[in-house]
A and B are shown apart, each in its own frame.
Chain A
C-alpha cells in the first residue's frame, strides 16, 4: 500500500498509470491546484538542471594520477604490512628460541622450588615421638620388639606402631 507521498511523487514523475492513476487523480480534492503544483515541480527540476548541471573536473589527468599514486601507496602498505606481519610472526618463535625459552623456564622453576623447600619450616615433632625415640627397648626383655613410626607432616599426625614389647615405660601412659 503506497502512502500519499509515494503516490504524489509517482504522479509528479509520470510513473502512475492505468487504474492507479485514475484513482489517484480522482482522490485529489483540488485537481487544478495539484496540476499547478506539478508544473511547479517541473519548473524546479528544470531550474536545478540548468543551474546545477555537470561540473567540469579540472585537471582530470592529475586526478587520475593522484588516485594511481594513492592506490600504489595503498598496495605497497598492505603488502609491506603483510610481509612485516609475517616476519614478525615467524621470526621470534624459532625452534632454538623455543628450546632456549623452555630450558630457561624449567631452570627458573627448579630454582624457585629449591628456594621454597629450603624456606619451609619443618613441622614440630610430636612430644610422644620424642619420648619414644628417647626410650630404649631392652633387647633382653623384649628381644622381638619393633617400633615403627608413620608420620604425615602436613596433617601433623604421627602414628607409632609398636610390636613385641613386653611392657611400656611406666610414665608413658601418663603422657
Chain B
C-alpha cells in the first residue's frame, strides 16, 4: 500500500508541479492548520469525490452539498489521519459515511423517486479539449438519456452499501482492500456485496446491455 503518496492508478486534477508536493506533506501541513494545503488536496480530489457522490445520489445539488460536507468533515478530523492508508482512501471513507448516512435518512426506495429531471447529465469526453465536439442527434440523445435513466433506476434499487461497492469497483476500479478500507468492512463482505449487487443489476439491466 502506498503511504500518503499518489496512487499510480489515481487520476487527480493536480498539475505536474502540484503532484511534486507529496500528499503526505500536504496532510502534515493541514494537520498544522494550513488551509492552503487543504485547498490543494481539495483541488486534487473534488471532481472524483463529487462524481462518486453524484453516482450514488443522482442529484447535482445534493452531490455538491454532500461533497462540501465530506471535505469539511475531513478538515475537522485531519489531525486523526495517521497515514496508514492513502489520503484518498481515507477521504473516501468519510465520503461514503456521509453519503450512506444521507441515503439512509432519505430512505430512498423504489425507482426514480429521487431523480432530478432538471439535471443536465454531463460526461467527460476525454477528447473534448482537442477535437470539436460532435453534437449528438436528438434520437441518440434521447436513447442515451433513456438508458441512463434505466441504470439510475436499477442502481436506486440497491441498498446504499451495495451501491457504494459496485460503483467503487466498476467506476473507480478500486481494489477489494481499498473498498474494504473505505467502507470499514472486511474484504469478504465487499466481495459478497459485489456478488449480490452484480446479480441484481444483471437481472434489471440485462436487456439494456445486451441491446446496446
**In angstroms, how far is the closest chain A Cβ from the Cβ of B168?**
11
Contact A6:B55 (CB < 8 A) given known A54-B48, A54-B124? no
Asked if B72 and A63 sit within 8 Å, CB to CB, the answer is no
- Among listed A40-48, A127-135, A150-158, interface-contacting one: A40-48
Q: Is B46 among interface residues, defined by CB-CB distance under 8 A?
A: yes
Q: Select from chain B the residue with minimum beta-carbon distance to A15.
A: B176
Asked if A71 and B122 sit within 8 Å, CB to CB, the answer is no
Q: Is A52 among interface residues, defined by CB-CB distance under 8 A?
A: yes
Asked if B46 and A63 sit within 8 Å, CB to CB, the answer is yes
Measured between beta carbons, the chain A residues less than 8 angstroms from B18 are none
Q: Mark B69-95, 1 if CB is under 8 A from A, else 0.
A: 001100110000000000000000000
The docked-state distance in angstroms from the alpha carbon of A4 to that of B47 is 36
Measured between beta carbons, the chain A residues less than 8 angstroms from B205 are 44, 47
Asked if A74 and B76 sit within 8 Å, CB to CB, the answer is yes
Contact A60:B166 (CB < 8 A) given known A49-B171, A74-B76? no
Q: Select from chain B the residue with minimum beta-carbon distance to A66.
A: B68
**In angstroms, how far is the closest chain A Cβ from the Cβ of B157?**
14
The docked-state distance in angstroms from the alpha carbon of A7 to that of B41 is 37
Contact A71:B38 (CB < 8 A) given known A6-B191, A48-B166, A49-B171? yes
Q: Which of B68, B76, B151, B169 lies in contact with A47, CB distance below 8 A?
A: B151
Contact A48:B195 (CB < 8 A) given known A6-B188, A55-B50, A63-B46? no
- Secondary structure type dominating chain A contacts: helix
**In angstroms, how far is the closest chain A Cβ from the Cβ of B77?**
12
- Among listed B100-108, B109-117, B132-140, B196-204, interface-contacting one: B196-204
The docked-state distance in angstroms from the alpha carbon of A137 to that of B115 is 113
Asked if A55 and B123 sit within 8 Å, CB to CB, the answer is yes
Q: Which of A8, A12, A13, A55 lies in contact with B54, CB distance below 8 A?
A: A55
Measured between beta carbons, the chain B residues less than 8 angstroms from A44 are 170, 198, 201-202, 205, 209
Measured between beta carbons, the chain B residues less than 8 angstroms from A49 are 170-171
Measured between beta carbons, the chain A residues less than 8 angstroms from B123 are 53-56
B residues at A contact (CB < 8 Å): 13, 35, 38-39, 42-43, 46-48, 50-51, 54-55, 60, 63-64, 67-68, 71-72, 75-76, 121-124, 144, 147-148, 151, 166-167, 169-171, 176, 188, 191-192, 194-196, 198, 201-202, 205-206, 208-210, 212
- A44-B209, A74-B75 known, 6 other contacts, Cβ within 8 Å: A15-B176, A48-B201, A54-B51, A55-B123, A66-B68, A67-B39
